[in-house]
Amino acid sequence: MSFDFAKTIALVKGGLMDPQATWNSYLGENPDWQQTAVVLTGPLIVANVLLSLLLSRMLGGFAYYGYASSFPAALVVGLIMAVIGFMVAVLVFNFMAGPFKGQPDFSRAFAAVSLAAIPAWVAGIVGALIPWVGWMIALAGGILSLVYLYRIMPLALKLPDDKRLVHFIVSLVIMIILNAILGVFLGRSMVGDEWASGKSSTEQRSTASTRGPGFIGELQRQGELMEQAGSDVFDPPPDGKLTEEQVETYVGVLRKTRAVHEKYAEDMKRMSEELEAKKEAGEQPSAADLSKMYGGIGKTMSANNAEIEVVKTAGGNWAEHLWVKEQLRVASIQQGEGSEANAHNYDLYLQFEDQL
């Protein structure tokens, strides 16, 4: 097994110009995953990360992993995150084939994700060439890869027609949530020391707030909010008593959080009904539908973190918010008994009970 440059070029060209024939031909070879890694996946991941970083730094274009201060650090972080993201996609789509009556096969799933990702990998390089609007090209490539992923998975994993849509949606949701979690914690841990040693706190905040477009930007924003919330500290009063102002603020946060959840539920219900209507009409999801679905997953994470977002965007203290929540919970469970603080806090709880 050795690298074949001509084979790589043929697969990339075919994956862009004649994808269906290329998929059928390559999957028909039943390649093992090591062969695909050498001839396609490895070269394109390295080319995508290396060239997009290099070109973006030379020309001011777009690159997802441009936040580390030095080029070597950005390259290492980019390669690690790209490999992790790719492997998560392969593992999730392959594993979920079983519950949806497909035929899990790691090597075929590996090949399918690699072939589907060709537009995204190439668009990432092209996007880095163009300042200001390069992210639009990268986003378009990502959306096209989603469309290809939806089309190629049934071919690779023998999914029944009536299961392909639900398999795709469930797998995509799991994959992106896992990537979001890994991205927030691994990305921060890998570049955190470098930021601390090479930049002032003001420069670190400025760099951290530079976000990618759409869904990627939403994940970055949510990561920043969680990081800010986790750094909050609060020293509770020795007597453990809440103030009316604290409870009013807490109630306001709950009201706004519920509004976010209601809006999210409405949006998700409408999207689900639209997709179901198309399925009943015998239509396949379009690129626009998959783009909405992709963005909708960003909304899922935003809705899950709505309480944090309401607190932090108002300049609140997350640690104090959690303390107030706990004091009210204990007071309600004990019904004001057990301590002077419980009695005091329970009176406040009863005052705002219909809003809690």
* 168 and 68 within one domain: yes
As for how many domains the chain has, the answer is: 2
- Binning pLDDT at 50, 70 and 90, where does residue 68 land? very low
Lowest pLDDT segment from 101-110, 162-171, 195-204, 346-355 = 195-204
At residue 186, the pLDDT reads 60
Give the integer Cα–Cα distance in Å for 37 and 103. 21
- Binning pLDDT at 50, 70 and 90, where does residue 18 land? very high
Find where tokens 């306001």 sit: 252
Whole-structure pTM value: 0.56
Name the more confident of 62 and 91: 91
Range of the domain at 178: 5-198
Residue 184, H or E segment: helix 164-198
Q: Confirm whether 324 is domain-assigned.
A: yes
Q: Which range scores top for mean pLDDT: 121-135, 156-170, 214-228? A: 156-170
Quick: pLDDT tens for 282-293.
766 555 655 555
Task: Give the Å distances, CA to CA, from 38 to 8, 93, 252, 310.
Answer: 9, 21, 55, 47
- Binning pLDDT at 50, 70 and 90, where does residue 3 land? confident
Q: Confirm whether 98 is domain-assigned.
A: yes
* 67 and 189 within one domain: yes
Under 8 Å between Cβ of 73 and 191: yes
Q: Confirm whether 239 is domain-assigned.
A: no
At residue 220, the pLDDT reads 58
Give the integer Cα–Cα distance in Å for 349 and 251. 10
Which of 77, 93, 86 is CA-nearest to residue 117?
86
At residue 306, the pLDDT reads 80
Domain boundary residue among 167, 198, 229? 198
Q: Confirm whether 237 is domain-assigned.
A: no
Lowest pLDDT segment from 101-110, 211-220, 253-262 = 211-220
Mean pLDDT across the chain, nearest whole number?
A: 79
